[in-house]
Structure 1
Amino acid sequence: MIWGRIKTAKGDILSGEIRDGFIRVGGALGDVAPDAVAIPLEGATWLAPCAPGKFIGLWNNYHAAAEKNGHTIPDHPLWFLKPLSSVSGHGADVVLPTAAGRVIFEGELGIVIGQRCHMASEDEAGAAIFGYTCINDLTSLDVLNANPAFAQWARAKGFDGFGVIGPVIATGLDWRVLSIRTLVNGRERQAYPASDMIFSPAEIVRRLSFDMTLEPGDVIAVGTSLGVRPVKAGDQISVLIEGIGAVDVTLSGPAT
């Protein structure tokens, strides 16, 4: 199934299965009746494909990046939270605040939770994964490292629009064969295999379920690998994963 969320030209917000240029309107995540109403996608604005209650990001979850940067392999997923006001969708225009300074892209695979998950076994955690999406975890390097006494993860990653999710959620994918690519102005800047992850998606969900209860619609960005670099106003960034598609964003600003 390909699941998406749109805002129609009339302003209606709809979620459902994306098929043949239409959205078959559903209810809960993944729930579409056989006789669901089909609405054309033409003229619609793409929104983040779900409305997460929690947007969780991982750091240092790829072997290649850990080795190059001299990071030790963590014993538990290293995670942070992005505020829900950071969420944006495919085709968004993200304004770079002056306070953000240097901003980098981070192309990532995203896990979308489909059922409540608390203190789960690995099998239960795997079953709780509804599907996968593309993530661009925009980050302000200047804010992150501004205070040597306190790394400002939430602020650095929490500006409006800095959590790009989309364009859709795809179910039934084998994450082991996926590759994550990031293009800036059409030029490839990242290309790495999901199979290089330190913690697998099911293991991530299992371990995080002992830290917090995961609910349907929650999104986990599983971390990025080599190739991240600064971007600026005017740049167009695309994160592509075969089977899901490409989530695009344009940067503008800075705003005062």
Structure 2
Amino acid sequence: MKIYHFLHEGRARFGVLEEQGVVRAMRGSPFDGDMTLDEERWPLAGLQLLAPTVARPRIFGVGFNYRSHILETGRPLPDIPPLFMKPDTSLLAPGGAIVYPRGSTVVHYEAELVAVIGRRARHVRQEDALAHVLGYTCGNDVSERTIQRQEMAMGLMTLGKAFDTFAPIGPCIETAVDPAALRLRARLNGKVVQEGNTADLLFGVDALVAYLSRAVTLLPGDLIMTGTPGGVGPLRPGDAVEIEIDGIGTLANTVVEEDA
């Protein structure tokens, strides 16, 4: 099932994709447990999509979680997930513009599978963890590398990941895919520039949910960006970037220069 979040007559709504590109509205939200369907339907192509989560989610990121990406950096395999957080102001809807920060010279795309939490999770066992995930979507962990490298030299990773618009998410939540065997790719101006498979993840979604829930109460709508495979590269103003994951869809965004 594909769940979309969209604006209709100024109101944020959720809906489910039916046949022939039509979205049927939900009465409530999948994050408050009301997935009852209404009779209202609209063509998907005419909807203004929102990021498929709550209005202000917590966004957890994982650095160095694909073996291919770890190898290309020359780092040893980590013993625990290297975690960071992105603020909710970094959230960006499908079709939105990634803002290239003033003064920046190295900003990268990172194609990622994103797990969307559907049920409260605290101290969950790894074997039970996926029951707390509503589904999966595409994400782009946009990163300002100059600041990130300075931060990492001090043993942290915060501001380089945190700029406004640096967490594009979408286009929908797919509830019926296996997160352990998904092919993902990034396209820059129509050319494939990054490709990988979640089978290469060092810490799978189940392990990440269990690990996080040891310390944090995960809430419906929380997002876990699970890391990126090898092949990350630069973005520039004027670029069009797409993140595609088999079985889920394609997240498309443009890049614009920040206003002076």
Q: TM-score, normalising length from structure 2?
A: 0.92
* CA distance 1:222–1:147, change in 2 (3 Å): closer
1:44 aligns with 2:47: yes
Query: Which residue pairs with 1:183 in the alignment?
Result: 187
SS at match of 2:250: strand
Query: Which residue pairs with 1:100 in the alignment?
Result: 104
Cα-Cα RMSD: 1.8
Query: Which residue pairs with 1:18 in the alignment?
Result: 17
SS at match of 1:153: coil
Structure 2 stretches lacking a partner, 5+ long: none
User: Which has the larger displacement, 20-29 or 226-235?
Assistant: 20-29
Question: What residue identity is the alignment partner of 2:36?
Answer: A
Q: How far apart, CA to CA, are the structure 1 residues paired with 2:175 and 2:39?
A: 19
SS at match of 1:168: strand
Q: How far apart, CA to CA, are the structure 2 residues paired with 1:148 and 1:21?
A: 46
* CA distance 1:170–1:70, change in 2 (3 Å): same
Query: Which residue pairs with 1:162 in the alignment?
Result: 166
Give runs of aligned pairs for residues 1-256 of structure 1, distance below 5 A. Answer: 1-8=1-8, 10-19=9-18, 20-29=21-30, 31-51=34-54, 53-146=57-150, 150=154, 153-256=157-260
Sequence identity of aligned pairs in percent? 32
User: Which has the larger displacement, 29-38 or 122-131?
Assistant: 29-38
Alignment: residue pair count? 255
User: Which has the larger displacement, 99-108 or 213-222?
Assistant: 99-108
Q: How far apart, CA to CA, are the structure 1 residues paired with 2:58 and 2:168?
A: 14
Structure 1 stretches lacking a partner, 5+ long: none
Q: TM-score, normalising length from structure 1?
A: 0.93
Q: How far apart, CA to CA, are the structure 2 residues paired with 1:149 and 1:175?
A: 32
Q: How far apart, CA to CA, are the structure 1 residues paired with 2:224 and 2:23?
A: 27
Q: How far apart, CA to CA, are the structure 2 residues paired with 1:32 and 1:197?
A: 31
Deviations 1:91-124 (A, max 9, x none): 1112212143310000000101110000111122
Offset of 1:157 from its aligned partner? 1.3
Question: What residue identity is the alignment partner of 1:73?
Answer: L
Offset of 1:188 from its aligned partner? 0.3
Q: How far apart, CA to CA, are the structure 2 residues paired with 1:119 and 1:240?
A: 32
Offset of 1:152 from its aligned partner? 6.1
Offset of 1:153 from its aligned partner? 2.6
* CA distance 1:146–1:177, change in 2 (3 Å): closer
User: Which has the larger displacement, 119-128 or 134-143?
Assistant: 119-128
